[in-house]
Amino acid sequence: MTPVAALLDVTDEEEMIRVLLIEDDEDDYLLTKALVSAKENATIKLDWVDSYDLALETIDAHKHDVYLVDYRLGHHTGIDLIQEAFRRGCRAPMILLTGQDDLTVDQSALELGAADYLVKGRIDAQLLGRSIRYALRQASVLAEVAQKENKYRSLFERSIDAIFVASNELRFQDANSSVERLLGYSRDQLRILNPARLFADLNQLRNLRFNVREHGQIKDFETTLIHRTGRKRICLISVWAVEDLVGRPEWYQGIVRDITDEKKAQQDLILAEKLTMTGKIARSIAHEVRNPLTNLSLALEQLKDELDTDNEYVTMFTDIIGRNVDRIGQLITEMLNSSKPRDLDRKKQDFNQVVKETLQLVSDRIKLKRMRLETSFIEGECQSLIDRDQVKTALLNILVNAVEAMQEGKGILCVKTSCTDDKRVYVEVTDNGGGISETDRQRLFDPFFTGKSGGMGLGLTATQNIINSHKGSIEVESQVGLGTTFRLYFPK
């Protein structure tokens, strides 16, 4: 079907406006034909069908630009015909004709998509021609708008960026598939969802709303969003207002970019640099200390041979020297092991069984301190490609720290395993100890950082080194006075 311009050359047959009249009364057809035959309507070519079924058959052929539809069509109405035609994919404008002025019929027709509504007996040649041309022009404009809307809708839907439209309260009105994947909710679920459920920190949501309302936009607002499964994602949110005709914000549109992997890559790089520096320090200390330490140990053994071993005080002091020599040697070994890359012997393992075996290693300590252990293991297959001994070492460091953080007789240690949607398994360790401040939490995995007296500050560094070697990740949540939760993720 060829679009027709508003002003037509009557000598050009291709620019004729092809109109189909759907009317079961031949007299009304003749009257309409007379109106169309007027000079001002010379560019209009009128065809006629007299039944509902024949009309649909002709409409399906898509040979006409405009349709004039009588309201009374036997057992059917013109509104029925318009509905069916649109359902079949007809996009040409339809003008409803009726014998009486009925506001209800008028509104129904326009709501269903009729281009105009004309009352028989009040139509003259000029009005009919103008209505036909207006309907055609309007259809052309709507088609152009629809084409542009489809183009931008396609960009909206196919964008790899998470794009959304929100109300003044920053509640979702629309969202593309990338938002659905990022947050785990469908579009319909997002429309009724309270945005507060998506933010790990409600103060962040308040700050976002304040800045958007105060300045009309905000760019790269960093916050942590919560996936439907509970998994947290670090995101950058950019939002800007779309204003109405008088310059007031009418709605908002925004983009969310997931930077979790970028953040992790940055943290891994920083950790690698720290481990490299730790390794250099450890090797330097080992070189400078181990030689004199070996000499000290040999000298002690020689001294024991020459001293009176039956003397209680001599034995006590030589044992103290010996234990501390061994302790220094052990610390140097721990420093070297915490910083060097791990050689893994990865095999498919029952992750639940690995966690249970590790818990056995701290069970005596838990009983001794009269603490309660609560466990929850995922049912069914829970296999993971891991180095069994290395993972037990990493988890043991977390469990020991958790037990030591809790009060004797009041501690509750919760351990559970589960799987994520992205083919990972994880173990979650929660204690009800004193918690960790945000400042300390940021430094937890730094070499030599410790909150325990007598600690080297290398246990969590070694744990993260093991997890990174598995291409896994670790998350920490803590509230001072309430406790701490560690989650260790490993690929299946």
The residues spanned by each domain of the chain are 13-155, 159-258, 263-339, 347-491
Give me the torsion for CA of 235, 464, 450, 375, rounded to 10°. 90
**Is the pLDDT confidence value at 187 over 70?**
yes
Could you tell me what percent of the chain has a pLDDT over 90?
27
> pLDDT: is 294 or 162 the higher one?
162
Amino acid 431: pLDDT: 93
Q: Which helix (H) or strand (E) holds 487?
A: strand 483-491
Are the CB atoms for 93 and 118 separated by under 8 Å?
no
End-to-end Cα separation, the chain, in angstroms: 57
Amino acid 302: pLDDT: 81
Average the pLDDT over each of 51-55, 151-155, 383-387 and give the range with the smallest value: 151-155
CATH of 347-491, one of 3.30.565.10, 3.40.718.10, 3.40.50.880, 3.30.70.980: 3.30.565.10
- Eight-state DSSP code of residue 41: G
Can you tell me the mean pLDDT for 92-97? 88
> pLDDT: is 19 or 10 the higher one?
19
Amino acid 310: pLDDT: 74
| Fold category of 13-155 in CATH | Rossmann fold (3.40.50)
Please, which pLDDT band fits residue 330 given cuts at 50, 70 and 90?
Answer: confident
Are the CB atoms for 358 and 350 separated by under 8 Å?
no
> pLDDT: is 340 or 34 the higher one?
34
**Is the pLDDT confidence value at 340 over 70?**
no
Are the CB atoms for 489 and 424 separated by under 8 Å?
yes
Mean pLDDT of the chain: 83
For 20-64, what is each residue's pLDDT tens digit?
A: 999 988 888 898 898 988 888 888 899 999 999 999 999 999 999
**Is the pLDDT confidence value at 13 over 50?**
no
| Fold category of 159-258 in CATH | Beta-Lactamase (3.30.450)
Amino acid 4: pLDDT: 36
Please, which pLDDT band fits residue 284 given cuts at 50, 70 and 90?
Answer: confident
Here the tokens at position 51 are: 């039944």
For 227-260, what is each residue's pLDDT tens digit?
A: 988 888 999 999 998 887 777 888 899 999 999 8
CATH 1.10.287 fits 263-339, yes or no: yes
Give me the torsion for CA of 323, 328, 332, 337, rounded to 10°. 30
